[in-house]
Structure 1
């Protein structure tokens, strides 16, 4: 006979009453999970949701069990419900969904969810797991994820982009991004340091020093900042502060590879070549970086500048083995051999892994100024341009200005505009070179540049003794712009005008007689359309202007020969506009 519980038993405390609430079913679900009893766990988590339907954790627990059971779609449905209807701030749901999508081999959706999690989650609870999943997705999709930022590591992604811009020599863009980072994250010291370097590369010493002072105010022992400060101080009058800082840096023996390299390059730049040589030798013994040809050049430069020519020769020979296509180690090795053959000491060698600046200018002149993409993106070279235009002699400035027209990007346009804005005017030959280069680079891409260019253009033409702009020349512009109206935007029409002015200016005083204005107009419109990647044929423009196709072709080739339009189109760059 089964004994029943009496009311007296309850009143006497012989039976513990059970409170059926969310916690009760939650605890039962957890015990079931410990025993891998997923069906029971799921049943108890659902009962917990019935008691507390607005608690997002209960819903996520159900989603977790469904995921363990392999029902990834149902799991994601619940997670989506949490985000849309219960708690949109529960960003970890995006991470759970990313894992579910990955298990379903829906890698695109997994990537989207994971990127959303990283960009929205402020705590970074699953940051390490996210990095592992990101590697998997990158392998499966065969491309990096389009990740803009990681909220829990504010500024890190942006800082990597800024570092890439610095490495590409795009200092203005890097400065804009780094300034935004340090404003939003004032304690991001690496960003302050790199901002200082970007200013320094552009020759803006005062701003560079301000950035370093901010770093040292927050961390007085920051090695990168101390090294940067030492380099900046050598450009100021007075040696006392620099000498004191150098004594401290000379006594440091850093442990981390990055710090060793920073200190080595700093000692080399500041003329402490023996100390630099010792640090570079340490790096060469590091298997991770010891196979880098550039590192052997750095060590060779330090050795040569210290009078250790045997070691310098050995390092350059090793650099040639590691980088047989580079002309740099061969050039310096030949210089060393020639100096030793003549019984002379080798002049100071730059630590930059590239040919000396004047040697590069000589090569470009021999090649009619053509630049490869690699050179155009060389940060050391671009920095040399900035410095040469600020501090070089007139001849160097002229050579650099002529070279700049072949590096077609926004930053070089700004440099040329700055050169044209200098008051009082520099010598007219330099002004003319800057004007022609700027015409090739920006045209009407910058509205502020147009009045400046027109004013300088008039000044240059007056100096050359050119007469007032002829009516026949202006008629070509007016007729072309009239025909282009409503089919081209203002920027494209301005490009056509600049192209014609460049053509006339380059030919003066041997400008051809304008017998068939319509042919020149058609050729001008044809080339402008091609520059802006608009589909057009000789026949179309010939019919529009009432001239023959052969005339348009002949005149277009004549303009192209003078202004080298086709070369720029082959390089996928317009010589007159900032935007491709």
Structure 2
């Protein structure tokens, strides 16, 4: 016989009343999970959801148990429902979904969800787990994730990207990104320091000092900022200030590897080679970095510049063993041995792990592609271009602008245009060369097309643009037609730009060009020379049906106006090295 519980039994405390609510079923679900009874746990989580359908935690718990049971698709359906219909701010749902997709081996979708989580989550509760999952996805997809920022580490990802841009020599892009970072995180010291360096490499000296000043206001003892300031003071010629700062830096013994390297390179740049040598020797004893050929070169440079030639020789030999394909250790060893053999002073050695600039020029003169690649990728060389364009003398600027026409680089074209627009060049040939290089870089005719959506840059060699005439254009068309199949598109474009430069230099006293074939032949001849192609007056004259003397005479006339010979023989500018 079944007994019924009476109201009196309840009131007398014989029976404990049960309140069926979300908490009740939640607790039962947890107990079931502890016993690995996932079916029961799922059933109770579902009941909790029924009682509190707007509570996102209940839904996430249900999604979690489904994931434990291997039902990843159903788990993600619930998580998507939470984000779309209950609480879009519950960013951890993206992390859970990423794990589910990874378990299903749908790595692209896992990456999308993980990136979403990292870019939106403010607290970073699963940051460590996210890094582990990111490593897995990078391996599976064989590429890094397209992550723009980590919200909980505001500015860190962007800063890493800016630092990479600096290392690639893309200073303008780095500046824009660093300035954006500092708008949101104004106390980000590393970003201030790198912004200062970017400005300095671009030759924007006042802005560089301004950025370093902000760092030292926030952290007066920041070693990176103090080292950068010392270099800036040297360039400024502020000797008293520099000496006070150097006394402090010389007495500093940094602990961290990064700080030791920064101080060592700074001392080298400032000519304190013995102190730099001591710091580099410390680094060589560090197992993490002691096997780096570049570090042995730095130590050798410091030793050689300090007169410790035996030690310099030992370090370069070790660098050669670590980098058997490298030309730098061999070059400096040979230079040192030659100087000692002839009882001559050993030349100062740059701390850069690369050949001196003049030696690189010898390699580049026969290989424009190699030269262009170096300028695109080597931040030191790019920096020297920026400095030369801003602060070099007229001859250096002319050589730079002529060299730049071989480098298809958006950042360099921006600098050239800034030079033309903000710092008017005083010499006609220099202005003409700058405009020609700018036309070559952008692929646009600056006489007729505006650059980057701005007002057209007028030809600098005359105040009024000439109305382009049919007989002038006919020479371009005929030359380019004859050059077809024997020259590439860039070389044909250079022929067109060269003719426009020549006509522009003559304007307004442009004569009628009789013997058009002779001018065409001269134009092709000079274009070939500009690209280091072997060609003779006779060869070109035969092609156009004119005499070699006519080609020679017209080519000389064009060279008088456009300075082509200098462009050919001095295409690569002799810059002073930057350390």
Instruction: Give per-residue Cα distances to partners, 1:61-97, cap 9 Å, x unaligned.
Output: 0010011011111111111111111111111111111
Compared with structure 1, are the counterparts of its residues 366 and 396 closer, same or farther at alpha carbon in structure 2 (3 Å cutoff)?
Answer: farther
Paired residues of 1:111 and 1:137 also in contact (CA < 8 A): yes
Instruction: Give per-residue Cα distances to partners, 1:270-328, cap 9 Å, x unaligned.
Output: 11111111111122222222222211111111111111111111111222222233332
Counterparts of 1:331 and 1:57, CA distance in 2: 67
- Where does 1:162-561 land on structure 2 (aligned, <5 Å)? 162-365=162-365, 367=367, 371-421=371-421, 425-444=425-444, 447-448=450-451, 453-458=457-462, 471-474=470-473, 500-503=496-499, 505=501, 513-514=515-516
Q: CA deviation at 1:249?
A: 1.8
Q: Match of 1:7?
A: 7
Counterparts of 1:316 and 1:207, CA distance in 2: 38
Counterparts of 1:327 and 1:468, CA distance in 2: 53
Q: Match of 2:67?
A: 67
Counterparts of 1:314 and 1:435, CA distance in 2: 49
Structure 2: 5+ residue stretches without partners: 479-490, 525-542, 545-558, 563-579
Compared with structure 1, are the counterparts of its residues 274 and 162 closer, same or farther at alpha carbon in structure 2 (3 Å cutoff)?
Answer: same
Q: CA deviation at 1:196?
A: 0.5
Instruction: Give per-residue Cα distances to partners, 1:360-408, cap 9 Å, x unaligned.
Output: 3454345568625244310011111122233334443333232222222
Paired residues of 1:357 and 1:384 also in contact (CA < 8 A): no
Instruction: Give per-residue Cα distances to partners, 1:197-221, cap 9 Å, x unaligned.
Output: 0001111111011111111222222
Instruction: Give per-residue Cα distances to partners, 1:152-195, cap 9 Å, x unaligned.
Output: 22222221221111111111111111111111221221111111
Compared with structure 1, are the counterparts of its residues 107 and 271 closer, same or farther at alpha carbon in structure 2 (3 Å cutoff)?
Answer: same
Paired residues of 2:439 and 2:497 also in contact (CA < 8 A): no
Aligned length: 505
Q: CA deviation at 1:503?
A: 3.6
Counterparts of 2:430 and 2:365, CA distance in 1: 17
Compared with structure 1, are the counterparts of its residues 516 and 297 closer, same or farther at alpha carbon in structure 2 (3 Å cutoff)?
Answer: closer
Instruction: Give per-residue Cα distances to partners, 1:306-355, cap 9 Å, x unaligned.
Output: 11111111111222222233332222222211221222332322211222
Counterparts of 2:398 and 2:437, CA distance in 1: 11
Greater shift, 354-363 or 42-51, is seen at 354-363
Counterparts of 2:303 and 2:429, CA distance in 1: 42
Counterparts of 1:7 and 1:471, CA distance in 2: 111
Instruction: Give per-residue Cα distances to partners, 1:465-511, cap 9 Å, x unaligned.
Output: xx9976511467899xxxxxxxxxxxxxxx99986342454699997
Larger RCO: 1 or 2 (CA < 8 Å, sep 6+): 2
Counterparts of 1:76 and 1:165, CA distance in 2: 38
Secondary structure at the residue paired with 2:340? helix
Counterparts of 1:9 and 1:451, CA distance in 2: 94
Secondary structure at the residue paired with 2:460? helix
Counterparts of 2:108 and 2:302, CA distance in 1: 50
Q: CA deviation at 1:13?
A: 3.0
Paired residues of 2:372 and 2:407 also in contact (CA < 8 A): no
Secondary structure at the residue paired with 2:458? helix
Compared with structure 1, are the counterparts of its residues 315 and 395 closer, same or farther at alpha carbon in structure 2 (3 Å cutoff)?
Answer: farther
Counterparts of 2:45 and 2:368, CA distance in 1: 76
**TM-score w.r.t. length of structure 2:** 0.79
Paired residues of 2:376 and 2:409 also in contact (CA < 8 A): no
Counterparts of 1:323 and 1:249, CA distance in 2: 32
Paired residues of 2:476 and 2:499 also in contact (CA < 8 A): no
Greater shift, 109-118 or 10-19, is seen at 10-19
Counterparts of 1:45 and 1:368, CA distance in 2: 69
Structure 1: 5+ residue stretches without partners: 462-466, 480-494, 524-549, 552-561, 564-580
Compared with structure 1, are the counterparts of its residues 345 and 401 closer, same or farther at alpha carbon in structure 2 (3 Å cutoff)?
Answer: same
Compared with structure 1, are the counterparts of its residues 336 and 453 closer, same or farther at alpha carbon in structure 2 (3 Å cutoff)?
Answer: farther
Greater shift, 354-363 or 54-63, is seen at 354-363
Secondary structure at the residue paired with 2:302? helix
Counterparts of 1:287 and 1:200, CA distance in 2: 33
Q: Match of 1:54?
A: 54
Counterparts of 1:161 and 1:280, CA distance in 2: 28
Instruction: Give per-residue Cα distances to partners, 1:5-34, cap 9 Å, x unaligned.
Output: 443332233433222111111111111111
Paired residues of 2:428 and 2:461 also in contact (CA < 8 A): no
Counterparts of 1:433 and 1:123, CA distance in 2: 55
Counterparts of 2:319 and 2:374, CA distance in 1: 19
Q: Match of 1:99?
A: 99
Compared with structure 1, are the counterparts of its residues 355 and 49 closer, same or farther at alpha carbon in structure 2 (3 Å cutoff)?
Answer: same
Secondary structure at the residue paired with 1:371? helix
Q: Match of 2:551?
A: none
Q: Match of 2:79?
A: 79
Greater shift, 501-510 or 120-129, is seen at 501-510
Greater shift, 389-398 or 206-215, is seen at 389-398
- Where does 1:100-179 land on structure 2 (aligned, <5 Å)? 100-179=100-179
Counterparts of 1:423 and 1:6, CA distance in 2: 99
Compared with structure 1, are the counterparts of its residues 231 and 512 closer, same or farther at alpha carbon in structure 2 (3 Å cutoff)?
Answer: farther
